[in-house]
Structure 1
Amino acid sequence: MGKYFGTDGFRGEANEVLTVEHAFKVGRYIGWYYGQEHRARVVIGKDTRRSSYMFEYSLVAGLTASGADVCLLHVTTTPSVSYVTRTEDFDCGIMISASHNPFYDNGIKLINHKGHKMDADVEAKIEAYIDGEIPELPLAKKDRIGRTTDYSAGRNRYIGYLISLATRSFEGKKVGLDCANGSSFMIAKSVFDALGAKTYVINNEPDGLNINTNCGSTHINVLQEYVREKGLDVGFAYDGDADRCIAVDENGNVVDGDLILYVCGKYLKETGRLNGDAIVTTVMSNLGLYKACDKVGMKYEKTAVGDKYVYENMVKNNYSLGGEQSGHIIFSKHATTGDGILTSLMIMEVMLEKKMTLGQLTEPVRIYPQLLKNVRVTDKKTARENPAVQAAVNAVAETLGDDGRILVRESGTEPVIRVMVEATTDELCEKYVDQVIDVIRAEGLVVG
């Protein structure tokens, strides 16, 4: 974690935490960094936030001032930027988005030439430049000044790529899409229409201020009601930049990232396409997922929270599938990042090939009640390592045994300790979470 760049880019309230000056300097450094031996080529996409245009122009100014040529995908998804960057020989991709955050936040996600999230050492150098710790960079002169080109054709090629991944027609299937008034409104319906689905779309009229507002993957109840009301076969909800997907089955039940990993992982294993017969999860995945995996002989890895860490593990071990409970799902054969629309297509493949509904496919998994509470503390490390706190955590773990678990971890972005318990009932979750928090408070570790 750097000063400005977290696990998912440089993010914060527009013109408060993240400013146009920051964006300009990011562009200046990237243009110079990749342009030392040749003219740098950079592709930029953005989501539907009002401030995305402001940051796009600031980045372009910095990039072209350093001599880079810039191609603009305009409003598009994060995974499309990753796809175009790695398939069309760009040095770097930039996505302007704050993902599932409210409209007044924004962010800058940097993607390297392989379509992966930018290396931490490059981000550290950008931070040093922003803070004036690196001498001012030379400006491009005369014919070395960069230029900007419309590149909406790149987005269209990505749409074509998604369509090409489908194994059969979606004809006869009634599919609901919640586009979160975000990036997917430009792409998702086109893909499902082309594949023959009867497509029902909601929250696909962005106005710059309504992205993620009571819609999308973070407000899944909206799609649940819509699927029930329209009698749809399945529904898919995306977040602001469409790198995550949460599904809804034919009965209106939520199918989160854990259930998606089970459904797709089991199918890939049955068809001999799950490398190592294993999926990659994070420590936040539900105990019910692991118990279901054990029953079908599917192995699993656990990483720190963040799709960045999931993908690192997948690359290291050559795994096919990984993801997070939040709906970031990575299919390494097809993408290098979470892709909400791609995930939808993979779920459709399982449903069609197995001739089963999504509700039937998820039925073997018993999801355990889970409760997470955040505690603001004076020092995260001190709180987590406190002997009395550790003793309380160990006592809960011993009491739960195989029928639950407790996880206490430090937040990566706030002065907060997160206490999470899974157990057989909501009441037990509440009891044991509060039991640990009471000890943290009694030890004088809580702020206020």
Structure 2
Amino acid sequence: MSTRKYFGTDGIRGRANTFPMTAEVAYRVGMAAGKMFMSNADRRHLVVIGKDTRLSGYMIEPALVAGFTSVGMDVRLFGPLPTPGVALMTRSMRADLGVMISASHNAFMDNGIKLFGPDGYKLSDEVELEIEARMDGDILQGVAEPHKLGRVQRLDDAQARYIEIVKASFPRHLTLNGLRIVIDCAHGAAYKVAPLALYELGAEVICIGVSPDGLNINEKCGSTHTDAMAVKVKEMRADLGIALDGDADRVVICDENGKVVDGDQIMAIVAGHLADKGLLKGGGVVATVMSNLGLERFLAGKGLTLERTKVGDRYVMERMREGGFNLGGEQSGHVILTDHATTGDGLMAALQVLAVLVERGKPMSKLGHQFDTVPQILKNVRFTGVSPLNSEAVKQAIREGEEMLKGSGRVLVRPSGTEPLIRVMAEGDDEKQVKAAVNMIAEAIKA
């Protein structure tokens, strides 16, 4: 595959006002993607744009709008809305393209651009590469005539539409009456929609992370900093806590004691429930190479498979579509439910767990531990210059690590998709052995 200049594992992402996250790049994305997704049909073409609550969204959004309108595309602006909401609304509004401005779980100084096709799914690597080629070509070729420029409109009911879509994913015969739930919205895109959806389904809702100021998104809160949720759950004696990330496409839950339930346990809960009802499609679950061996063993015990992909919920979704699966996700809390959504949706995933909780009448502490996790250790090693993975010494260290854990675990060494880091992960039944394997490979990479 060609080298990518702008797009990473999940759209374009970087520090705001620094390449590639500049207004100029955003303008070029608008022009290139807009032109590419405009058919030759003589009709108006539409792009919908949502964003999270970062200050830099005020810079990126108008630049994208300028790019899209300059090639003749009409624009509908949603304002703050979760990534999965933008994906679903792209399809339901018959738009030609959907855009989310967000750097997900990153701090406020970063931002990103995620693109969705007219079917509501993230674009393939091939399509992203074609957009890149167009961005670096003669971008001004094919701009619209003055009378054919696009028009822009803000859509005031986008959040209300999304809330109704989310509520429809919760079983009709159930209610959240009697449940006290802490919701941490990470001062991000779901700060209005998530508490409202839970309240309208009957829960008593305690909110944190719902006061965005442009600079506090994901700061000591949300799915990557779960202490705030856990503390609030115990303080308010809540039944459970739900923590979303900045764009609400991932979720982490905690039980009434503040114990964290990660994406692997969430997938196990939902997979077991769907399988019991004969509603799990594809004969198993799709997850990434990072999912715990414990999940694989749990599913095998139920006669189900765990299919693994490379890291990135886009690759999980691609495999799900190929194999006809309806459940997949990542350990980090991206959970994809294709019966309801076209990408990871933190709020919908939480609602599926709540449905199981209500139906079985069990506390979250009983439900949240579906399997024993196998000891898993991850080390990030920073490097400069050429990737150390090409070194013969590193390849030998990886082979030795694999030999150490043969039959009782596994080793995974991969470059980060967003930073100059090598991620070294190993897991197995013997924690000492796992540690030794990780340290040996990490030292070889450092050397």
Amino acid at match of 2:101: I
Amino acid at match of 1:171: N
Amino acid at match of 2:10: D
Distance (Å, rounded) in 2 between the aligned partners of 1:314 and 1:164: 22
Amino acid at match of 1:197: A
Distance (Å, rounded) in 2 between the aligned partners of 1:49 and 1:6: 20
- 1:249 CA drift (Å): 1.3
What is the match of residue 165 of structure 1? 169
Corresponding position: 1:69 with 2:74: yes
SS in 2 for 1:366: coil
- 1:356 CA drift (Å): 1.6
What is the match of residue 25 of structure 2? 22
Distance (Å, rounded) in 2 between the aligned partners of 1:32 and 1:364: 48
Q: In 2 relative to 1, CA 29–438 (structure 1 residues): closer, same or farther, beyond 3 Å?
A: closer
What is the match of residue 284 of structure 2? 278
What is the match of residue 104 of structure 1? 109
Corresponding position: 1:8 with 2:10: yes
Distance (Å, rounded) in 2 between the aligned partners of 1:162 and 1:183: 15
Equivalent of 1:330 in 333, 336, 339: 336
Amino acid at match of 1:55: I
Indicate conservation of the 8 Å contact 2:265/2:370, yes or no.
Answer: no
Of the structure 1 ranges 357-366 and 100-109, higher mean CA displacement relative to structure 2 is found in 357-366
What is the match of residue 88 of structure 1? 93
Indicate conservation of the 8 Å contact 1:189/1:201, yes or no.
Answer: yes
Distance (Å, rounded) in 2 between the aligned partners of 1:271 and 1:179: 31
Equivalent of 1:393 in 370, 379, 398: 398
Q: Could you tell me the TM-score, scaled by structure 1's length?
A: 0.93
Amino acid at match of 2:123: M
SS in 2 for 1:143: helix
Amino acid at match of 1:48: T
What is the match of residue 266 of structure 1? 272
- 1:436 CA drift (Å): 1.9
What is the match of residue 301 of structure 1? 307
What is the match of residue 419 of structure 1? 424
What is the match of residue 288 of structure 1? 294
Amino acid at match of 2:337: F
Indicate conservation of the 8 Å contact 1:266/1:298, yes or no.
Answer: no
Indicate conservation of the 8 Å contact 2:217/2:246, yes or no.
Answer: yes
- 1:291 CA drift (Å): 1.8
Amino acid at match of 1:376: R
Corresponding position: 1:243 with 2:246: no
Corresponding position: 1:34 with 2:40: no
Task: Give the helix-richer structure, 1 or 2.
Answer: 1
Distance (Å, rounded) in 1 between the aligned partners of 2:389 and 2:257: 41
Corresponding position: 1:252 with 2:253: no
Distance (Å, rounded) in 2 between the aligned partners of 1:261 and 1:323: 7
SS in 1 for 2:123: coil
SS in 2 for 1:152: coil
- 1:75 CA drift (Å): 0.9
SS in 2 for 1:106: strand
Amino acid at match of 2:32: Y
Q: In 2 relative to 1, CA 255–439 (structure 1 residues): closer, same or farther, beyond 3 Å?
A: same
Distance (Å, rounded) in 2 between the aligned partners of 1:92 and 1:331: 21
1:86-117 deviation line (CA, Å, top 9, x unaligned): 11200000111111111011111111000011
1:254-309 deviation line (CA, Å, top 9, x unaligned): 11111111110011100101113300011101111112222222211011011011
Amino acid at match of 1:353: E
- 1:72 CA drift (Å): 0.8
- 1:247 CA drift (Å): 0.7
SS in 2 for 1:73: strand
Amino acid at match of 1:407: L
Aligned length: 440
Q: In 2 relative to 1, CA 400–31 (structure 1 residues): closer, same or farther, beyond 3 Å?
A: closer
Indicate conservation of the 8 Å contact 1:112/1:118, yes or no.
Answer: yes
Amino acid at match of 1:147: R
Indicate conservation of the 8 Å contact 1:380/1:410, yes or no.
Answer: no
SS in 2 for 1:201: strand
- 1:437 CA drift (Å): 2.3
What is the match of residue 441 of structure 2? 436
Distance (Å, rounded) in 2 between the aligned partners of 1:329 and 1:183: 17
Distance (Å, rounded) in 2 between the aligned partners of 1:430 and 1:299: 28
Structure 1 unaligned runs (5+)? none
- 1:28 CA drift (Å): 1.7
1:376-414 deviation line (CA, Å, top 9, x unaligned): 346766x43544434433333333344332212232333
What is the match of residue 140 of structure 2? 136
Amino acid at match of 2:306: Y
Structure 2 unaligned runs (5+)? none
